[in-house]
Amino acid sequence: MADEEKSRLYKLKPLIDRMPAVKQPEGHVHFRRKMVWLILVLVIYLVMTNVMIYGLSQEQSIDLFEQFRAIFAGEMGSIVHLGITPIVNASIIMQLFQGAEIVDLDMKDEEDQAVFQNTQKFLVIIMLIIQAVPQVYGYLVPAESFISVLGTYFAGRGLLVARILIILQLFIGGYFIFLMDEVVSKWGIGSGISLFIVAGVSKGLFTGLFNWESAPRMEGNVPAGTIPRTIYTIRHHSASELAGGELEGLIIGPPNPVMGLIFTILILLIVAYIQGSRIELPLAHGRARGARGRYPIKLIYASVIPIILAHALLANINLFSMLFYTNPTFKNFPLLGGQDWLGVFQRGSTDPISGAIWYLNAPEGIQEWLLPLISERYEGALSPKGVSWSHSKLEMIARVIGHMTFMAITCVLFAKFWVQTTNMDAESVADQIQDSGMQIPGFRRDPRVLRRVLKRYIPTVTIFSGLFIGIVGAGSNLLGSVGGATGISLFLAVSILTELYEQIGKEQMMEMHPMLRDFFGNQ
């Protein structure tokens, strides 16, 4: 590529090439070694979720990503408070730029691909700062004792120093997440981001099922977990009390109702089934007779990445809507600051109760939309997070449609961008099959023929997979689940675990048959 034709991102090359990065392995990494790295990173991540930010007041702080916490991993108030959001946001920016042809990079060219990836790493660092600063200056509050101690050493500037130290801890924790994601990608199996999502969802699901501590906003010493709550309710109430409303509260009332457990199992079964749906193209080796195989084009061809990116986009819209409505600095912003039409937020809550942003967010479970539509006695009730609201049936229907439409459109767009940037499009796949020595039986061995055949399937499946996961993911949110693990997070967890299982099987197969590494693009 001539210098004048190169992307403007090449001007960043002297900087991004010097950034700290995980070393690429030289040659093949043995399967057992990959599993060791995978488990080690998971253990380190779980430990970091329990390392709280030093000097932070947990009682006064607000989690801006509370409703997206299960998807974005991390833990409220810990050094990994930001979770995977800086990585995901950097990916969104780069994919939008690539899709709009602003960066002008050829993802089939190794040098261009390296520039794209290194620029994305640079953006992660920028996003760490951009996301940490507004949170610390508005919603992550330093403890008074921490401020006073620092004030004695820094001439009354205790608050400023305390905020800087908390930002520094958030930056270090977020950057560790980024490096661990690179370790898994290069030395382990799958993706670190996916691994962290599964860990967070599993933790929430376990506590939702077995938490024996008292549930907030409920009278008496009632456990919060579905199973201990069920046992407690049956043991401490008579048949008449159960028939009088206790049984109904157990089945549909927050937190962690039995209906949520039923929907959780239903979502798990549906996702496990659709993960196995695929089109398989028969392949035969051009030289070795009898060597045959199949190239699978899965129903969820673009993986679960588009739905993660779609939720990251929604989370950022929520974040800035809340800042414009509640933050004293942002309130003065023209047209958007303090405007009810954009989004109204109750004090201490991150969930909008009205405004345009309310129509994009998913109702959390049937308590927030289906039950009020069925019976008027559920109108004006409390949501699972204790936020009171009251809307007309027409508004609730519009909200359901708005959320599903938003998810469907954004997932289709991100699916198309993702397939292009990861070389999963028809042309790239045709080149991979051609280079491996395979061909489709009955067709001559020509990359143009392969491209023509694959173009019948891949573009259509890409759009359909984005639309499908957007609608199914939004629908799973509407049903609800247990343990704060939203329907979409369950959808992601099962999809990720299914893919991880397939990747582990592929790694074992490549250990037994090293020639397959060329076909899968592994070293």
- Give tens-digit pLDDT for 46-91: 999 999 999 999 888 988 887 778 788 888 999 999 999 999 999 8
* The pLDDT of residue 444: 73
Q: Do 313 and 198 lie in a common domain?
A: no
**463-476 pLDDT, tens per residue?**
999 998 899 888 88
Rg (alpha carbons) of the chain, rounded to whole number:
25
Question: Taking a C-beta distance cutoff of 8 angstroms, is the pair 37, 187 a contact?
Answer: yes
Find, among 431, 397, 467, 103, the residue nearest to 295 by Cα. 431
**pTM, rounded to two decimals:** 0.79
Q: How confident is residue 382, by pLDDT bands cut at 50, 70 and 90?
A: very low
Q: Do 520 and 436 lie in a common domain?
A: yes
Q: What DSSP letter does each residue of 477-511 carry, written as one string?
A: HHH--STT--HHHHHHHHHHHHHHHHHHHHHHHHH
Exposure of 61 by Cβ count < 10 A (0-12 exposed, 13-18 middle, 19+ buried)? buried
Question: Could you tell me the two tokens for 339?
Answer: 């405007």
Q: How confident is residue 187, by pLDDT bands cut at 50, 70 and 90?
A: very high
Q: Do 404 and 354 lie in a common domain?
A: yes
Q: Do 223 and 171 lie in a common domain?
A: no
Q: How many domains does the chain have?
A: 3
- Residue 197 CA, chain-centre distance (Å), reads 7
Distance CA 267, CA 473 (A): 10
Reduced to 3 states (helix: H, G, I; strand: E, B; else coil), residue 453 is helix
| Size of the chain, expressed as the number of residues it contains | 523
Q: Do 305 and 368 lie in a common domain?
A: yes
Q: Do 327 and 410 lie in a common domain?
A: yes
Q: Do 401 and 464 lie in a common domain?
A: yes
Q: Do 421 and 458 lie in a common domain?
A: yes
Summary mean pLDDT of the chain:
84
Q: Residue 434 belongs to a domain with what CATH number?
A: 1.10.3370.10
Q: How many CB atoms lie within 10 A of CB 318?
A: 23
Look at 272 and 16; give whichever has higher pLDDT: 16
Q: Do 127 and 232 lie in a common domain?
A: no
Q: Do 172 and 263 lie in a common domain?
A: no
Q: H or E element: which one contains 296?
A: strand 292-298
Q: Do 166 and 223 lie in a common domain?
A: no
Q: Do 289 and 423 lie in a common domain?
A: yes
Question: Could you tell me the two tokens for 30?
Answer: 């043995």
Q: Which range marks the domain in which residue 228 is found?
A: 212-255
Out of 109-123, 203-217, 284-298, 329-343, pick the least confident: 284-298
Q: How confident is residue 287, by pLDDT bands cut at 50, 70 and 90?
A: low
Domain final residue, candidates 146, 181, 210: 210
Domain final residue, candidates 255, 287, 316: 255
Q: Quick check: bond before 255 cis, omega within 30?
A: yes
* The pLDDT of residue 365: 77
Question: Taking a C-beta distance cutoff of 8 angstroms, is the pair 429, 458 a contact?
Answer: yes
Q: How confident is residue 201, by pLDDT bands cut at 50, 70 and 90?
A: confident
**Does 347 score more than 80 pLDDT?**
no
* CA-to-CA dists, residue 179 to 23, 27, 70, 171, 355, angstroms: 11, 21, 20, 12, 38
Provide the angle, in degrees to the nearest 10, between the axes of the packed helices 192-210 and 226-236: 10
**89-106 pLDDT, tens per residue?**
998 888 878 776 777 787
Paired strand residues for 453: none
The runs of H, that is alpha helices, within 188-304 are 192-210, 226-236, 239-241, 247-252, 258-275
Domain final residue, candidates 255, 290, 310: 255
* The pLDDT of residue 218: 67
